[in-house]
Amino acid sequence: MQPDVLEFRVPMENNKTLLVWNIEPDRDAQHVHDMLAAVFSSFGLLHLLQLCPNAPLAPPGFYAVVKFYSAAQAAAAQRETDGRTLFQRSPLKVRLSSRDTPRFLSNRPRLLSHTHCLQLANHYLGFNGWNSDIITLKELPGGEEQGAELEGAATGGSRGRSLRFGCLLRLSFPRHQRTSTASAVVEDSFTCTGPEDLLRRRSRLQRMAREQALVRAFSTVLLVILGDGRTMVEVAPPPDHHLPEHDQQLIQVNQLTVDSSGNGDGEAELDLTMWPTPSSDVTCFT
């Protein structure tokens, strides 16, 4: 049996996606969702299970999209569930997806969310199979007041502010003697309404910087599932930047800009460098 290689990226491949239909409408949607989750999660960890009602012109019922991280587990689930009644009177129809992935999605793999990274790592490695250490978490220059203070009747004395935090983090797998280091920068521009608002936003950005750095560290990790069930860990260099062996002081940083409600609207490359201090192993952002 060939090893199965799992990445910490959103599974987009057809061989990891199942389409399930002919689901009877005898039960409510939540009950059907729970039963589908119980059936398919028995084959492996799921990234997504989405249940939808049939189109208005189709017979009543549901269809579902099920995404696995593993192509081998998706294939096994398809073989074992297609044509089986399982939790209903009529047999389910289960097929591997044949839909074409849009080019703009297939050319730029999406990283898993922080929550999905934790789920995938804990499922295959256990809670003690990995750990993370913050090397640097610091407020960066550029988080000053934006222009003149916006005081007056229209603003009620509030001021325009911008905060930026950077985090450098090391992800370790002690049993496998592998490490991955990554960094992230998050920024938020907002109208400050007082000291409590500023403190709350600083705390939120610190948490987001830690989570984004951890996500980027996981993005270079490969889980190799062997035929006997054992899991090996390998770390690949980041696809978007390679550090020369003779100059490891320069580390590219990525930026995530968020709106005032805390939702990330997009990602962009940020041209920053981080230089280690001469007398310490801690890296400082400049």
Query: Which of 136, 139, 129 minimizes the C-alpha distance to 204?
Result: 139
Question: CB 89: neighbour CB atoms within 10 A?
Answer: 7
| Residue 273: per-residue pLDDT | 37
- The predicted model scores a pTM of 0.77
Query: How does the average pLDDT of the chain come out, rounded?
Result: 80
The string of pLDDT tens digits covering residues 114-146 is: 999 999 999 999 989 999 999 999 998 865 544
Distances in Å between the alpha carbon of 106 and those of 10, 112, 218? Answer: 11, 15, 20
For the chain, list the domains and their CATH numbers.
10-102 (3.30.70.330), 114-285 (no CATH)
Starting at the edge strand found earlier in the chain, the sheet holding 264-270 runs: 131-139, 159-173, 178-192, 253-258, 264-270
The string of pLDDT tens digits covering residues 46-61 is: 999 999 999 998 899 9
Query: Which of 162, 164, 163, 172 minimizes the C-alpha distance to 135?
Result: 172
Whether the predicted pLDDT of 157 surpasses 90 = no
Q: Quick one: pLDDT band at residue 216, thresholds 50, 70, 90?
A: very high
| Main-chain phi, psi angles of 2, to 5 degrees | -70, 140
Whether the predicted pLDDT of 85 surpasses 60 = yes
Query: Which of 23, 87, 90 minimizes the C-alpha distance to 50?
Result: 23
| Residue 264: per-residue pLDDT | 41
Whether the predicted pLDDT of 262 surpasses 50 = no
DSSP annotation of 9 reads: B
Query: Which of 247, 249, 258, 251 minimizes the C-alpha distance to 211?
Result: 258
Whether the predicted pLDDT of 80 surpasses 60 = yes
**Hunting for tokens 């003697």 — which residue is that?**
177
